[in-house]
Each structure stands twice: as C-alpha cells, then as structure tokens.
Structure 1
Amino acid sequence: MTHDELVAAAAVAEAAPARPRARLIDVAIAAGVSPKTVSRVINAETGVLPVTRDKVMRTVRDLGFVPDRSARELKRQAADTIGILIDAISDPFFAAFVSVVEELAVAEGLSVIFASTGYDAARERTQLERLTGHRLAGLVVAPVEVGAATLAGLRTRFPVVTVDRSRSGIDAVVIDDFGAAAEATAALLSHGHRRVAFMGEDVPYPTVSDRLAGYRSALEAAGVPFDPSLVVTHERFQAGEAAEASRLLERADAPTALLCATSLAAIGTVQAIRARGLRMPALVSFGDFTLAEVFEPGITYVDHDPRLMGAAAFHRLRELAVHPDAEPTRTVVPTRLVPRGSGEVTPSFPLDPIGATR
C-alpha cells in the first residue's frame, strides 16, 4: 500500500461515524418540550415563553437541526379553498347560495372559487376540471350531467356535496320539489282557479320535471283535468322567449293563474305581462327574486331558502373534512309558501290590457 493510501485509510478509520440528521422529535426530547412547541419556535409563532424559546433554539443549534422546507411549504399550501360549480350566477337562487357559502368560508379562514355550467354538459366538464385542479378543501356542485362515478372519484380527494340535485352515493342538499310544487298549485286551486298554467324551463335534470309532476298531482287531486297547452317550457326562460307567456294569457280560454317553476321563469313571465300591458293573473314563483315584493301585487313565492341550503352544504363539507369515510347523507331543506298578494288573487275575467273595459 502506498504512503497516500495509508494516510487515507487512517483518516477513514479515525473519522467519526456520520451523525444522523436530527428530527423535530429529537429536538423536542432533548429540550424537554412538546413537538408542537418546537414547531412554534422554528416557525416564529407566538405563545412560547422567552426562556423556553431560548432553550429550544440552543438545542436546535446543538443538534444541527434543519427544518424540512418541503414539509413547511406543503403546510402553507394546505387546501384552504371551497370550490362551487353552479348553473349560473345570474340565477337569483344561486347568487344568494354562493354568497352564503362564501360568508361561512371566510369566517373559517377559507376562500371560495366558483364557476358556472350554463346548463351545458360540455362546459360542466371543462369547469369541473378547472376547479378540481386547485387544492380544494371541498366541492359543492349543482350537477348537470356529471355522474355519480366521477363525483365518487373526486370524493376520495376532498369532500363533495351536491346541491339542488342528487347523485347516488354522494352527500346532497335538496328540497322536495314535487311536494312544494303540489302545495303551491293546491293553494292557487283553493282560491277558485281551475285553469292554472305551468311556466318552466326545459333543463336536463329532474328539478323542473319533479315540479311539473307535483303540479299535475295537485290538479288531479282537485279533479281538474290536465291541459298540456297550459304548460310552457323553454330551454332558457328569458324575457324574449317569454312572449309565449303573453300569447297564452291573450287566449280566449286564458289561464287565470300561473305557477312559475323557477325564479327566472317568473321574471321572464312578469316582464312579458308588463310589456303587453296585461293585468297580472294569480302568480306563484318558485323562488324569490330582487324587487319581487315591490310589484303590485307583490309576488307570492315558494321559499326554498338558498341561505339554509348554502349553510347546510357548507357544514356538511366541514363534517366530511373531519370524517371523510362517513356514510353519505341526503339533507332535505324545508320549503314554505310566502304570500305577498299575487298568489292570493281570485279568478277575475278576463286578463285584459290595463284600463280596457268589457
């Protein structure tokens, strides 16, 4: 062996074995404090006595402890955002719903991001991919066509709650659409109406169809024949498309009462009635909307309170964050019929332009 090789071998033999990297728990044990206290000290958090802080820092130096920067970065990036996917923010119901969820989230130090589907399945897929690309603490979705299997897959990553519609095996917050529509229709019938029209939207989920079924059930219970010509649906119920509503009211056998299956349908219908100068028939809106109370008469509505639904959805998300394996629940939020005058109008014939005489 050469001289240089002998020197190298001696150096290796005399070298102390490499000291294993100190861990946070090692610092805690050596300093006689809890791991949480060590974490507070190295992260410059408050709540630690100066003498304890000094002892921990001396131990950190003595052991050569180096905080795991990647772990700290992951902590800073911990999921703190609630994602919401809704039909449209222009819908008064969902506008109020998002506002409630945001208010509750902010109170817990969480942020909210939302997107809309526009009732379109392709757009729903795109928006869902965009939302779930974030580190979410939970997702609330009003599904259009997204299936239970897709949502179940997402549920393995974060809590998922559907609202307004349900999917098998997924937590849901809904109302009794059938029962609420039947109650509203029965109320109109109780005021003497026998020609009650249904104004709805042709959407790819059962919300409106369940309300139509409730309407038909109430007619049947009262012995009133169902007239399909009194059912008006549109893909999107906007003011222009609601011209059909005014044509319906100008018929010789015009309905004396209207059940509007969504607040958007009610808005479009009222605008069409006003534009044609028609007297307001008895009218019930499924959902409230801005300025509904200032009409004369005020618009009677089915209150499926978005505040209650938003709170129920948010609280379920937070429960699932703690108990991710909990069995899915279906929360049915109660509804009530709120009279303001329009739903209590009795049949008066006919629906002439205002000021006209017979």
Structure 2
Amino acid sequence: MTQPASSETTFEVLDFADLEGWAQDDHAAALTTFRNTCMDRREPDWTSLCAVAENIENPRAFFELFFRPVLIRDGKDALFTGYFEPELDGALRPDARYRYPVYATPPEARGGSFVSRREIEEGGVLRGRGLEIAWVDDPVELFFLQIQGSGRIRLPDGRMIRVGYGGKNGHEYRSVGQEMVRRGIYQTHQVSAQVIKNWVRRNPAQGQELLWHNPSFVFFREVSEVPADRGPLGAMNRSITTMRSVAVDPAFVPLGAPVWVEKEGQNPIRRLMIAQDTGSAIKGAQRADIFFGTGDQAGRAAGRLRDPGRMLVLLPIQRAYALLSEGGE
C-alpha cells in the first residue's frame, strides 16, 4: 500500500463484532477468491498467510485469527458502484456492420502520453496500422467497453475472443454522466450507464460530442487464454470473481487484501470481498467498484449501483496496528 500524503487520512482498527452481518457471510467463498491472488503478495506476512490459507478447515476462523478490520478514512464520503464484463458483437475483419475498431496499444502510447479520444476517433491517427484486434458493430458499447476495461467479443461463427486492459492514452478520465448533469440533461439520481447509452443513440451528433468529453482512451490486448467459464483478468492479472472481487484505490487498499463491504441503498450488501482490481475512476479510501459478472444482466445491475456505506480492509494483525502510529485513532 502506497501511503497517501494527506493529513485527513485516518486509520481505526475495529473488531469483527463491529461488522454488521459478518457471521452470516459465506467465508468459504471469500477464501476461495482470496487464494486466487494471495500468492502474488511477496511480503513475508502475506506469504505466510497464503500458505496457511491453502490448508484451512474453518474459513471464518482463518480471517478472524490472522486479520484485523481497519477503517481507513480520507475525508471523502464512501461510494460503491458496480462494473461488469460486457459482451459485444464483432468480427475479425471490418465490413458494413462491423466498423468500429478495438485497438491494441500503439508503441508511442506505451509511456502513457498520446492524443485524445477525439483525435483517435475523428482524426483516425491509428487507422491502417494493423493495431485492430477486432471490429464491433456499436460505438456506444465500445465506449463502455473502455470504461469497464475488459470484455468479450462474440464473432459471427459463435466463437468468443476476450480482451483485457492494455494501456491508455494518458488523458484524465472525465465522467460523461456528470457532464450530462452539468448540461442540465438529467439530474444526478437519473443517470446510469443505460440512460447514457439510450440518450446517445437518440441524439447521435450531440451524443458523439458527449462521448468526446471524456478524452481518456483505453487500449486492449487479447486474453483469450482465460477460459470462458472464468472471470476476466483484474489488475493482478488473475481472473476476478462475480460479487467477490472489488476494484479499489491501491493508494489506500493493498491489492489482494480482503475487504468487508457494507453497502447501503435499495439492495444492501454485507459481504467479504477481495481487492483484485483497480479503475481510473476509483479514487479514495472509501471508493469501491463491485464486479457483477458478465453480460447484459450483470451490466444492468452494475449500472444501477451508486450507493453509500463503508468499507473495511482486513490487514495482517501487525500491519493493522502499525498503521495506528501513522495517523489512526
């Protein structure tokens, strides 16, 4: 965990009895997800815990015995959103239907500094350079594929290719949903991914300009070696798990750590998840993006999520208490 330089950041070590719904969760499912990435932590305390996790008989006791829940605050309100793995229709060759390219990272963008989304799409600076992984039939779905960072493309013969995050152009992400609110098109509570998609399709010219408001552009790489029955690759280059993996800000939450989620709202969630992913819009100690799975149904559920709550990071005991000397309560 890279410690943020902020006087507002505080740490509070809690007891497991303070976690609402802790006893009712499926700790075995969380442990299985934890095992997927625990071997990638190289620090001695994490390495030891990973070895223990391979032969544990009581998953709940494992977490309670070796971890402590830490509430990290940075002065910002907690916010939970959702993300998913989209499925798009595409082809390996362009035609009248499949006209919108999914690009691999150009060499000159690998340093994280490149032209804007508008210049790429309107100016065609990548056209004809052999960087196309595939072509898809819907530019709006392609935009949201970039927001999600990974997805599957269904080819005409029924085969699937999977793409994952390959890099970006170095421009700061700007929310088109917030821009719609600023322009007075919708109010904050009305905006969702589906609402944005529908509006852009009803207003093609204005919609294109709206999408160009976000200058950030994501490039991809093919990751079809990941079996179709497993989740897409997260930031740790391991498959993530539906409703057990969460994207976090690694400046506050170490990747691979268990996190206890208490999401409020219409459908409350009380669940132990694992921090296995990141996102350009996921910034802050209490900011998290829950992975909802693959396909349209997962997308609709993820798109509706925008709720308050709180998130606690489960850290190895000595590591948890060491934080108290760095500004905790």
Higher strand share: 2
TM-score, normalisation: structure 1: 0.20
TM-score in terms of structure 2 length: 0.21
